[in-house]
Structure 1
Amino acid sequence: MLLADGSEPGPVFFDLGSGSTFHESTSWWHYDGTFRRPTAVTMRGRCACDWRGTSRYPIDWEKVREDDDPDAYDTTGLYAEWEAHLDEVAGRAVTLPGDLVELLGQVHERIDQLWLEDNSARGYATMLKTCDALEAIIAQVGPEAAQVLGREQDEVAPAIAEALGTTEQAARTRLLHYQHLIWR
């Protein structure tokens, strides 16, 4: 969202009563000027990685109020620009080897088949046992890979984030998750 002066407003806070915390939102439809909230005049795509879209999309508040459903408002251009950004990020990320992609696809497909074939307690137990096997692989491989990358994190954090196709903060979180993963 952008205000008339071109700035991005901070989050909108909602006082829900007698608690010490306040709900906050950055959803565009909350910037409609009611209850002393700022009024957004245009929307622009944005991402957690600090990317900002180049196009601006005007907000017709009369149309929003008339429909009384923010989800019905046309934001397709905004989302198309954001999805193009996500495709660009994914294009810079590490590509999994084709045979691994195929194997993971087969595992996913087989789990889906289990879901359809046997909805008994035994079928669900089989699915959970499959998840256990996958988690065991992750616990065996993940910590070592994360520890190696973690040692280099400060020097090459942007490159690690790009290789993972995510933000630096999300990459740090993922590394910490895998570094401290323990399988029982």
Structure 2
Amino acid sequence: MLVEWDWWTVEFGDAHAGAVGVLVDGGEPGPVYYDVGSGPDIPSTRHWSAYDGRHRRLRAEALRAACACGWRGAAEYPLDWATLGDRPLYEVDVDLTGPLADWNAHLSLVRDKAAPLPEPLAALLVEIIERLTATTEDAPLAALRAIGVLERIAARVGREAASVLAEDGVSAETVATGLGITRSKALMLLLTARDR
């Protein structure tokens, strides 16, 4: 099944990717399957634009914000099919500002609970982004080399930091909240650190 996220941030990556969720009869419907003939693999999607009632698909009654962490927005944004007509949703100008604002509000709460970065480190990260972006334009191979070095540094330091947390008995829930990731990812970090 294709997972198409509408929004994503560098800060939280796929742990808090956002999407427009669909409601049918008050609940979230299953995926939409595409008829491609016979075969063992039938492509499917949960992207909001596929729920347009065409080709025997379900028709979305309302939209809401959704996050990869499992959070769902409380506000519902009804679709006016009398105005939309029978056109595919991807061809219609659907106002998604409500779900996007709700997802951003959710991210604000996640950000507020996450461990704050020391200001010098946050400034250094911004500078690294700016320099890498400039280097990508001037010397893309050098930018890739720098990224490789950063990935190796991040992996090593990440293992060391996770090891300290594991030795201190910090819970997976605390790590998940502090990093803005799921509990299962936090648990994997701690378990991997203990196996070192």
Shorter chain as denominator, the TM-score bin is 0.7 to 0.9
Contact 2:23 2:63 in 1 (8 A): yes
Contact 2:54 2:88 in 1 (8 A): no
Match of 1:23 in 2: 43
TM-score, scaled relative to structure 1: 0.76
Give the counterpart of 1:128 among 135, 144, 155. 144
Distance 1:46 1:139, change over 3 A: closer
- Whether 2:70 is the aligned partner of 1:12: answer no
Structure 1's consecutive aligned runs of 4 or more residues displaced over 6 angstroms after TM superposition are none
Match of 1:35 in 2: 55
Contact 2:114 2:179 in 1 (8 A): yes
TM-score, scaled relative to structure 2: 0.72
Match of 1:182 in 2: none
Structure with max Cα Rg: 1
Distance 1:95 1:77 in 2: 28
Instruction: Indicate the structure whose relative CO is greater, using CA pairs within 8 Å and at least 6 residues apart.
Output: 2
Deviation at 1:66, TM superposition (A): 6.2
Q: Deviations over 1:9-41 (max 9, x none)?
A: 111222323331121211223223333332321
Deviation at 1:162, TM superposition (A): 1.2
Secondary structure at 1:39's aligned position in 2?
coil
Structure 1 portions without partners, runs of 5+: 180-184
Distance 2:56 2:178 in 1: 43
Match of 1:50 in 2: 70
Match of 1:106 in 2: 127
Letter in 2 for 1:18: S
Deviation at 1:133, TM superposition (A): 2.7
Q: Deviations over 1:129-164 (max 9, x none)?
A: 3223312322321222234546789x8333221111
RMSD: 2.8
Structure 2 portions without partners, runs of 5+: 1-21
Distance 2:141 2:99 in 1: 43
Match of 2:178 in 1: 163
- Whether 2:161 is the aligned partner of 1:140: answer no
Q: Deviations over 1:36-79 (max 9, x none)?
A: 33232111222222222121111122433466553621111121
Distance 1:69 1:102, change over 3 A: same
Secondary structure at 1:46's aligned position in 2?
strand
Contact 1:44 1:55 in 2 (8 A): yes
Distance 1:29 1:65, change over 3 A: farther
